[in-house]
């Protein structure tokens, strides 16, 4: 009995260590696989053509072009637009929930926001096609509303729950002594919020914005459905765009394994992976810099 208990203990220990290291192996595996497959594209085109190419046209009959810049620019444009909408709305909502909302209101709103975080991106993209696109077309007098603006609005919706949740936590974690000191100096609630609490929570709020940004950057189905997917270099929010994620989603199915195009898509994936890792790491750094002990 005792012997078997100790043996079980050892077996368990080995198994759990194995599981932990497997996670690292998976992350490393994803990274290496993307990098290797992506790097193979440079056997056929130069890095300059890829990283500094202004044209993405892999199916061209004569000379296909694999310039990643229009894709990167599309992704940045849509994400930037999304952040313009989501940051003020999200931070204001977080501030309301953390500092102003009565308990009853909070209990009503909070689960609703958490539930929206679970809405599949394909459903949000669907709304972009059926509701938002016709609305944008009518308001701005366009032929169709499948453009960067549409994608930005939808991505803002998708990034909002992340921003709200993380920013709310950051605002809540500001010690009450800060607020009390401010009140004691005669400041009212509004001044306290804007001049004391929010600045004190700034690192957490920035981290929430970075996380929301990461979410928007990597979103696939929403932009695939709602942004029109023209691979020309976009000129603004009323142009259709084709993001990095959408390009992979559209083209991977129709490329032969081992072709230049196939490897180029992995290279796009590697760039996307790199950008999202960078955003993640930055958000962690920022969040760690000023953290209050609770």
Partner 1 sequence: MSMRLLLLCTLLTLVLFGFVFWDIASKGAGALSLEFLLTHPRKGMTAGGILPAVIGTTYVTLLTALFAIPFGVATAIFLSEYARDTRSTRLIRAAIRNLAGVPSIIYGLFGVALFVQGMGMGPSLLASGLTLGLLTLPYIVATGEEALRNVPESYREGALALGATHWQSIHSVVLPAAMPGMVTGSLLGLSRAAGETAPILFTGVAFYLRYLPGSVWDEFMALPYHLFILSTQHHAIHEVRPLAYGTALALLGLVILLNVIAFLVRMRYKTSR
Name residues contacting partner 1, limited to 43-72 (CB under 8 A). Answer: none
Interacting span for partner 1 (CB under 8 A) from 46-54, 110-118, 174-182, 286-294: 110-118
Give the nearer residue to partner 1 in terms of CB position, either 77 or 154. Answer: 154
Q: Would you count residue 9 as binding partner 1 (CB under 8 A)?
A: yes
| Binding residue for partner 1, selected from 62, 143, 176, 190, defined by CB under 8 A | 190
Residue 87 interacts with partner 1 (CB under 8 A): yes or no: no
| 248 belongs to the binding site for partner 1 (CB under 8 A) | yes
Do 254 and 177 form a contact (C-beta atoms < 8 A)?
no
Burial class (CB in 10 A: 0-12, 13-18, 19+), 282: middle
Q: Using an 8 Å Cβ cutoff, are 171 and 94 in contact?
A: yes
Smallest distance from partner 1 to CB 27, Å? 4
State which of residues 71, 124, 167, 205 lies at the interface with partner 1 (CB under 8 A).
Answer: 124
CB of 53 to partner 1, least distance (A): 20
Please state the closest distance from residue 199 (CB atom) to partner 1, in A. 15
| Minimum distance of partner 1 from residue 96's CB (angstroms) | 4
Enumerate residues 192-221 that contact partner 1 by CB under 8 A.
193-194, 211, 214, 217-221
Site for partner 1 in 223-242 (CB under 8 A): 225
Considering the complex, state which of residue 29 and residue 199 has its C-beta at the smaller distance from partner 1: 29
* Member of 92, 135, 181, 185 binding partner 1 (CB under 8 A): 92
DSSP state of 45: S
Closest CA to 211 of 283, 272, 158, 132: 283
Per CB under 8 A, 135 contacts partner 1: no
* Half-sphere exposure for 57 (CA within 13 Å, toward CB): 10
Nearer to partner 1, 9 or 180 (CB): 9
Closest CA to 245 of 84, 127, 68, 126: 68
Counting contacts by CB under 8 A, is residue 182 touching partner 1? no
Name residues whose C-beta falls within 8 Å of residue 272's C-beta, 6 or more positions apart in sequence.
Answer: 75, 217, 218, 244, 245, 248
Beta bridge partners of 57: 65
> Residue 283 in 3-state DSSP?
helix
Q: Which residues, 6+ apart, have CB-to-CB distance to 163 below 8 Å?
A: 86, 87, 90, 91, 94, 208, 209, 211, 212
């Amino acid at each position: 009995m005792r012997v078997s208990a100790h043996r079980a203990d050892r077996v368990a220990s080995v198994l759990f260590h194995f599981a932990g290291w497997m996670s690292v192996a998976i992350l490393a595996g994803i990274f290496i696989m993307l990098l290797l497959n992506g790097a193979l594209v440079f056997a056929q085109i130069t890095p300059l053509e890829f990283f500094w190419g202004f044209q993405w046209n892999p199916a061209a009959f004569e000379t296909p072009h694999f310039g990643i810049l229009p894709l990167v620019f599309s992704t940045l444009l849509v994400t930037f637009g999304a952040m313009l909408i989501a940051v003020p709305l999200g931070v204001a909502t977080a501030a309301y929930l953390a500092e102003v909302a009565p308990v009853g209101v909070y209990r009503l709103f909070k689960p609703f926001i958490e539930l929206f975080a679970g809405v599949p991106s394909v459903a949000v993209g669907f709304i972009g096609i059926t509701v938002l696109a016709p609305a944008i077309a009518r308001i701005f007098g366009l032929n169709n509303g499948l453009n960067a603006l549409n994608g930005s609005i939808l991505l803002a919706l998708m990034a909002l729950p992340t921003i709200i949740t993380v920013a709310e936590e950051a605002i809540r974690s500001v010690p009450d002594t800060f607020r009390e000191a401010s009140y004691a100096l005669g400041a009212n609630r509004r001044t306290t919020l804007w001049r004391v609490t929010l600045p004190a929570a700034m690192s957490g709020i920035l981290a929430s914005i970075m996380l929301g940004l990461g979410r928007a950057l990597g979103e696939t189905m929403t932009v695939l459905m709602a942004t029109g997917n023209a691979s020309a270099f976009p000129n603004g929010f009323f142009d259709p765009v084709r993001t990095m994620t959408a390009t992979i989603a559209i083209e991977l199915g129709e490329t032969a394994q081992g072709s230049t195009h196939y490897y180029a898509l992995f290279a796009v994936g590697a760039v996307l992976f790199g950008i999202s890792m960078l955003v993640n790491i930055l958000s962690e750094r920022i969040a760690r810099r000023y953290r209050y002990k609770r």
